[in-house]
Structure 1
Amino acid sequence: MPLALLALAIGAFGIGTTEFVITGLLPQVADSFDVTIPSAGILVTGYALGVVAGAPLLAALGSRIPRKRMLMLLMGLFVLGNALSAVAPDFGLLLAGRVVASLAHGAFFGIGSVLAADLVAPHRKAGAIALMFTGLTVANVVGVPLGTLVGQHFGWRTTFALVAAIGLVGLAGIAALVPARPGPGAGHRPGPGLRRELAAFRNVQVALAMAMTVLGFGGVFAAITYIAPMMTGPAGFADSSVTWLLVLFGLGMVAGNLLGGRFADRALMPLLYVSLGALSLTLLLFTFTAHHQLAAAITIPLLGAFGFATVPPLQKRVLDQTADAPTLASAVNIGAFNLGNAVAAWLGGVVISAGYGYTAPNLVGAALTASALGLAVLSSALERRSRAAVPVPLG
């Protein structure tokens, strides 16, 4: 694999770390600004909404800018947002820093996916995308626990300063390793333009792929958002055990991402059938295994593995359906992941508030993922019908 993918993975590691590390730092942040933890929780919501809004906005603004240059600008924006968070004198500016950093998230992964796929042979595209996303998954194994530990011992501002430094390393790596070669937006020539990028959304297969993204990976977040009360309640784990349980989840994400990238290049839709079906079944079983420590510890990495095994094929599905103008659609699909996360987490909270218990979000996740599987079957059926309707030339 090209060294340029390493630079993209470093940027992804920084983005993944800053997205999730705030959950472990909320008590310290709340104490610093004398706000309640629920009020500090807007730092999580604000970031997610920034990703959803920033993905299409910045991808559209960058549609005429070479991809390497745009990725460098996005990493610069990411560094700025985290630096602002590190020195924020009040809660409002900290929230602003989080939002600034989040704006780069969707466009970086969207444009980075297109560039990663462009760097390798056609039969290795999903593997290249998965390698970039490895940075995001490794962030959950290394970056988030380490960032939380640093924040607890040296202050949360130090964590954001370190994340900004990681962003600078990613920026330098992109500048040094990503080739500025001629191509559709990859080098000196600009991309296909906003009108052509928008036209890609008329394709029903693009809409179906994005709906699968919202529902499929969203199912994971219905469960994982409430993993702490679920494990310290029904499962009976100590509070200190949640950290290593999340590490297990992260390890599953790494494995699922790499396997998903490998097999998506060989059989994309069959892989989606298997991963979405297995994920739905695992979420259903988690309703019961969450009451037993060993069973829960086995189920959690499976959630990460089956959940992230869907990411490379879903991202490649969008790229395959928008081959002539993929940048905006690719970025919007990253926003779809975060939209699904937000909606699923909200639905999980609804069933808990309704009195169904801390394991009820797993049933919500199973239903969402099963719906995504149904859409995958529908997408394949429509594709087969479309191919059958194309007349075969005589002679």
Structure 2
Amino acid sequence: MAKQNNLLIAILTFGVFGILNTEMGVIGILPSLAEFYGVSVSQAGLLVGLFALAIAIAGPTMPLLFSGIDRKKVLLLVLGIFVLGNIVTIFTTNYTVVLIIRFISGLFHPVYVSLAFTIAAASVKKEEAPKAVANVFIGVSAGMVVGVPIVSFIANTASIQMALAFFAVVNALVFMATLIFVPSMPVQEKLSYGAQLSVLKKSITWLSIVGVIFLNASVFGVYSYFAEYLNSVTNMSLNTITIMLFLFGLTNIIGNIIAGKVLTQNAIKTVVTLPFALGVVYIIFFLFGEFTIPMAIVTLFWGVLAGIGANINQYWVMSSAPEAPTFANGLFLTSANIGVTVGSAVGGLFISQLGTQYVLLVGFLSIKLSLVFILLRNYKDSSIQNKLSEHQVS
């Protein structure tokens, strides 16, 4: 049974890598894609932006729509859509067609990812769920960060078509593994749409959502412009910056592994501690941003914290609505993507008005706001627990 669960989680992790790599892998080859499709680099940026917009739209709706269907069939459906979409992008030079395919893929992205988290958590004992989800999160981090240099390498050494083919091959392999090794997973207790939507009536759910938006904004508001920060403030070379971003990705994966352990041991303490730890990192960035070695060392710690933070975001929303896990995971994906959008927008505003060094302000402000909503939810949780205790005594 343990071996079956390990294989299932490994397939889900690899699947999430394929889905996230399809989304983010194009970042490193945008100039080449612009030339391939005959558009400007800014227009090619829509390949990322439109995909993210589709995720934000579909996050709370698409997982809900598919929540009552056999989970294996849903996984295969989404992977099939990604494989077909990947194949079409290899052989077409029509940019409009590619944008449509990317948007459709983005709509199904939250279905697979939210279901992967739900299945991983359900495959183990309740107290081991954060660790199982953290393993799947390795696929998220690898797809977002490690996949980018891999795709860039393939494009530079082979061709842009081979780089695009990499997306198709990864998703096709996961499709075959799912078809062969993943058992049928019919939904035992089908929750009505109304029952799942009812979690939105709880104030704890909304406190969690807003807390996650600001927590993710505190990381991605800075990370979105980190390459520019290292270039203009730290004066690193482009090659060194590439290495730094790659190391950030690797330490992000380490953070995922750590998160599974610390969330299992003491979830509340971990959630409350993270904003303070991020605050210390940003203070060091601000004070020593001009020095290469201190920045390199602190970036490694930042990568670990970012990995832990990604797991915290999922846990925080999921734990606010455990009665509707798939819908809750969809809410998490939407919250996280809104956080990225808000953080990058505000970060860009600070840079344009104050200068690159002050992008750290979006990190500080978002941390403070996230902590407010984290503490409010903790207070709400405590009040509910006290009322339940009083009711049991009476």
Q: Measure how far apart 1:259 and its partner are.
A: 0.8
Higher alpha-carbon deviation: 128-137 or 164-173:
164-173
The reply on whether 1:179 has 2:183 as its aligned counterpart is yes
d(CA) in 1 for partners of 2:36, 2:288: 38
Q: Measure how far apart 1:215 and its partner are.
A: 1.0
d(CA) in 1 for partners of 2:90, 2:190: 35
Equivalent positions of 1:285-304 (< 5 A) are 285-304=284-303
User: CA offsets per residue over residues 325-355 of structure 1, 9 Å max, x none?
Assistant: 221121121121111111111111111122x
- 2:9 pairs, out of 5, 8, 25, with 5
d(CA) in 1 for partners of 2:61, 2:384: 32
- 1:373 pairs, out of 368, 371, 374, with 371
CA contact (8 A) 2:313 2:336 kept: no
Q: Measure how far apart 1:323 and its partner are.
A: 2.4
Match of 1:387 in 2: 385
Matching residue's letter, 1:108: Y
Match of 2:115 in 1: 111
Matching residue's letter, 2:41: I
User: CA offsets per residue over residues 237-291 of structure 1, 9 Å max, x none?
Assistant: 1112222111111012111111111111121111011122211331233233332
Match of 1:132 in 2: 136
d(CA) in 1 for partners of 2:105, 2:283: 35
Match of 1:101 in 2: 105
d(CA) in 1 for partners of 2:358, 2:75: 40
Q: Measure how far apart 1:304 and its partner are.
A: 2.0
Q: Would the alpha carbon gap of residues 21 and 319 (structure 1) be closer, same or farther in structure 2, given more than 3 Å must change?
A: same
Unaligned 5+ residue runs, structure 2? Answer: none
Q: What is the total number of aligned residue pairs between the two structures?
A: 389
Unaligned 5+ residue runs, structure 1? Answer: 181-185
Match of 1:72 in 2: 76
Q: Measure how far apart 1:140 and its partner are.
A: 4.5
d(CA) in 1 for partners of 2:122, 2:282: 35
d(CA) in 2 for partners of 1:29, 1:147: 12
The reply on whether 1:266 has 2:265 as its aligned counterpart is yes
Matching residue's letter, 1:364: V
The reply on whether 1:335 has 2:330 as its aligned counterpart is no
User: CA offsets per residue over residues 2-59 of structure 1, 9 Å max, x none?
Assistant: 2100010011111222222222111111222343222221222111111111222321
User: CA offsets per residue over residues 68-108 of structure 1, 9 Å max, x none?
Assistant: 22122122222233223222322222222222222222222
d(CA) in 2 for partners of 1:155, 1:196: 50
Q: Measure how far apart 1:136 and its partner are.
A: 1.7
User: CA offsets per residue over residues 207-264 of structure 1, 9 Å max, x none?
Assistant: 1222122111221111111122211211111112222111111012111111111111
Q: Secondary structure at the match of 1:286?
A: helix
d(CA) in 1 for partners of 2:393, 2:198: 32
Match of 1:243 in 2: 242
The reply on whether 1:350 has 2:349 as its aligned counterpart is yes
d(CA) in 1 for partners of 2:337, 2:294: 28
Match of 1:183 in 2: none
Q: Secondary structure at the match of 1:246?
A: helix
CA contact (8 A) 1:66 1:190 kept: no
Match of 1:191 in 2: 190
CA contact (8 A) 2:21 2:167 kept: yes
CA contact (8 A) 2:322 2:328 kept: no
Matching residue's letter, 1:11: G
Q: Secondary structure at the match of 1:56?
A: coil
The reply on whether 1:16 has 2:14 as its aligned counterpart is no
Match of 1:147 in 2: 151
Matching residue's letter, 2:136: M
CA contact (8 A) 2:32 2:160 kept: yes
d(CA) in 1 for partners of 2:248, 2:34: 26
Structure 1 runs, 4 residues or longer, greater than 4 Å off: none
Matching residue's letter, 2:365: A
Q: Would the alpha carbon gap of residues 62 and 204 (structure 1) be closer, same or farther in structure 2, given more than 3 Å must change?
A: same
Match of 1:156 in 2: 160
Q: Measure how far apart 1:293 and its partner are.
A: 1.2
Matching residue's letter, 1:313: I
Matching residue's letter, 1:305: V
Matching residue's letter, 1:258: I
d(CA) in 2 for partners of 1:388, 1:261: 28
d(CA) in 2 for partners of 1:13, 1:66: 22
d(CA) in 2 for partners of 1:215, 1:82: 33
d(CA) in 2 for partners of 1:315, 1:87: 37
CA contact (8 A) 2:16 2:116 kept: no
The reply on whether 1:364 has 2:372 as its aligned counterpart is no
Q: Would the alpha carbon gap of residues 88 and 296 (structure 1) be closer, same or farther in structure 2, given more than 3 Å must change?
A: farther
Q: Measure how far apart 1:192 and its partner are.
A: 0.9
Q: Measure how far apart 1:159 and its partner are.
A: 1.5
d(CA) in 1 for partners of 2:384, 2:205: 14
Q: Measure how far apart 1:167 and its partner are.
A: 0.7
Q: Would the alpha carbon gap of residues 307 and 301 (structure 1) be closer, same or farther in structure 2, given more than 3 Å must change?
A: same
CA contact (8 A) 2:80 2:175 kept: yes
How big is the alpha-carbon RMSD for the aligned residues of Structure 1 and Structure 2? 1.9
Q: Would the alpha carbon gap of residues 193 and 176 (structure 1) be closer, same or farther in structure 2, given more than 3 Å must change?
A: farther
d(CA) in 2 for partners of 1:227, 1:188: 43
Q: Would the alpha carbon gap of residues 153 and 263 (structure 1) be closer, same or farther in structure 2, given more than 3 Å must change?
A: same
d(CA) in 1 for partners of 2:24, 2:297: 22
Q: Measure how far apart 1:174 and its partner are.
A: 2.4
d(CA) in 1 for partners of 2:56, 2:145: 24
Matching residue's letter, 1:334: L
User: CA offsets per residue over residues 154-213 of structure 1, 9 Å max, x none?
Assistant: 232322211111111122222333333xxxxx4254631211111111121111222122
CA contact (8 A) 1:81 1:99 kept: no
Q: Counting helix residues as a fraction of each chain, which structure ranks higher?
A: 2
- 2:57 pairs, out of 30, 34, 53, with 53
Q: Would the alpha carbon gap of residues 301 and 101 (structure 1) be closer, same or farther in structure 2, given more than 3 Å must change?
A: farther
d(CA) in 2 for partners of 1:125, 1:335: 21
Match of 1:204 in 2: 203
